[in-house]
Amino acid sequence: MELRAYLTILWRRRWLVALVPALALVAIAVQALQYQPRYTATASVVVTRFPQEVPSDVYRYDEYYLYLTNEYTVDDFTEVIRGNVFARDVAQRASELLGTALAPHQVQASIDVRRRNRAVLLSVTANDASRATAIARSAVDLLRERGTQYFGFTDPDRQVIVQVVNEPRDAVADTARTRLIWAVQLLLAVAFGIFLAFLADYLADALHDPEDIRRALGVPVLAVVPMGSERKRRAS
């Protein structure tokens, strides 16, 4: 089938091609009216263990074990941040910053933590920008102040340095993902409308042009008698 034939079918079923995207646009408009953006605040800290004091005549392995210990410590920090004890402390401090009570389970659900070498990457997502920022700042401050106390290490020789490399200054609305979802919904609606147009034309019994007659009956078309309006146009 030629491209012109495909375009003819789409034009003949244009109401169906337009109806499905129109319904999708209405649904997207309803989603947009009800949409509440989510805000994300990010922070990152670098965790370093204090080097162990050893006699000068002892080989230090170029501090290899220190770097290895740092990576294990970062792994421990990620588990601490995911825990409900840390969430409870963060909720208490963030509540003081906001002036409103936060539940520990709300804080725990809003924090996402990842590690990259010796860095701990925090991401806090909430419905309110100030809440996301307050939780992120409280989490960073607690890590900096208490460090390995969450592990039960109070010995100064077993402490760590928590250096903040990315302060959680503000929260950014995460609208790009939502807009992408809406765009995909609209594209799928257009594709589905085109599919329905071809399906409806395939299931229809009507013959619209000489090519349809030739394919349906298997005989050549010798002449075409134009319709009333087309006949008048040709006569004039």
**What are the structural domain ranges in the chain?**
3-34+177-235, 39-173
Q: How far is CA 4 from the centre of its chain?
A: 40
7-54 residue pLDDT tens: 888 888 888 889 999 999 999 999 888 888 889 999 988 877 655 555
Instruction: Report residue 196 CA to chain centroid gap.
Output: 31
- The domain defined by 39-173 folds into Alpha-Beta Plaits (3.30.70)
For residue range 33-46, list pLDDT tens digits in order.
888 888 999 998 88
What is residue 183's predicted lDDT score, i.e. its pLDDT? 93
pTM of this structure: 0.62
Measured from the Cβ of residue 122, the count of other Cβ atoms closer than 10 Å reads 22
pLDDT for residue 93 is more than 90: yes
DSSP string for 7-18: HHHHHHTHHHHH
Cα 227–chain centre separation: 56
pLDDT at 198: 87
Percent over 90 (pLDDT), the chain: 28
Residue 128: both structure tokens together: 């309110």
